[in-house]
């Protein structure tokens, strides 16, 4: 299992996700243009002292990421047609999430469309979930399925 963040923008979210990846021993991939410096104090603070245990890889572009990490890529977007609960996760799946304000970029979303899923939001007043929360929901569901399989 891998987590990929495409163009994340908010350091504390990425730091929280890094801490989640450290806790679950899940590799974290940062893809494309970042909205912060990798040594940002807010990023480091959110990850606390767990950074040495985060399997972190930086990819300059989506193309470089795709080449470096083959396998099934599952995209997550608030506008996806299918629910993430329809998925049967596999151990080598790559969970792909976009940045906080724009989500998964359109070209990548189009590429992932056959494997694009959403977390249900029942309120008409809420457009999307916090990125760190969304990653936690999906990653723990994947791990739950794999542990109980």
| Domain spans of the chain, in order of start | 2-148
Residue 114 confidence (pLDDT) above 90:
yes
Give CA separation, 134 vs 24, 41, 64, 80, 118, in Å: 15, 23, 25, 14, 9
Which of the four pLDDT bands, split at 50, 70 and 90, describes residue 43? low
Structural tokens at position 54:
């985060």
Q: Among 3.60.21.10, 3.40.50.150, 3.40.1280.10, 2.40.50.140, what is the CATH number of 2-148? A: 3.40.1280.10
Region at 48 (left for phi over 0; alpha for psi -120 to 50; beta for the rest): left
Residue 33 confidence (pLDDT) above 80:
yes
CA angle 142, 143, 147 (to 5 degrees): 125
pTM of the full structure: 0.93
Q: How much is the pLDDT for 84?
A: 98
Q: pLDDT by residue (tens digit) across 46-63?
A: 556 777 888 999 999 999
DSSP string, 61-123: SHHHHHHHS-S-EEEE-TT-SEEGGG----TT-EEEEEBTTTBS-HHHHHHHGGGEEE-----
Q: pLDDT by residue (tens digit) across 55-110?
A: 999 999 999 999 999 889 999 999 899 999 999 999 999 999 999 999 999 999 99
CB 28 within 8 A of CB 21: yes
**Which of 17, 11, 13, 16 is closest to 43 using CA atoms?**
11
Distance of alpha carbon 45 from alpha carbon 48, whole angstroms: 5
């Amino acid at each position: 299992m891998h987590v990929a963040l495409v163009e994340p923008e908010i350091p504390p979210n990425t730091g929280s996700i890094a801490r989640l990846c450290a806790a679950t021993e899940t590799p974290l991939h940062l893809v494309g243009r970042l909205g912060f410096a990798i040594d940002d104090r807010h990023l480091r603070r959110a990850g606390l002292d767990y950074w040495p245990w985060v399997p972190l890889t930086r990819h300059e572009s989506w193309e470089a990421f795709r080449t470096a990490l083959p396998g099934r890529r599952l995209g997550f977007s608030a506008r996806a047609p299918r629910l993430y609960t329809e998925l049967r996760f596999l151990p080598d799946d790559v969970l792909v999430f976009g940045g906080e304000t724009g989500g998964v970029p359109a070209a990548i979303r189009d590429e992932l469309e056959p494997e694009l899923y959403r977390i249900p939001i029942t309120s008409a007043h809420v457009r999307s979930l916090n990125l760190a929360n969304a990653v936690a929901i999906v990653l723990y569901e994947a791990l739950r399925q794999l542990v109980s399989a």
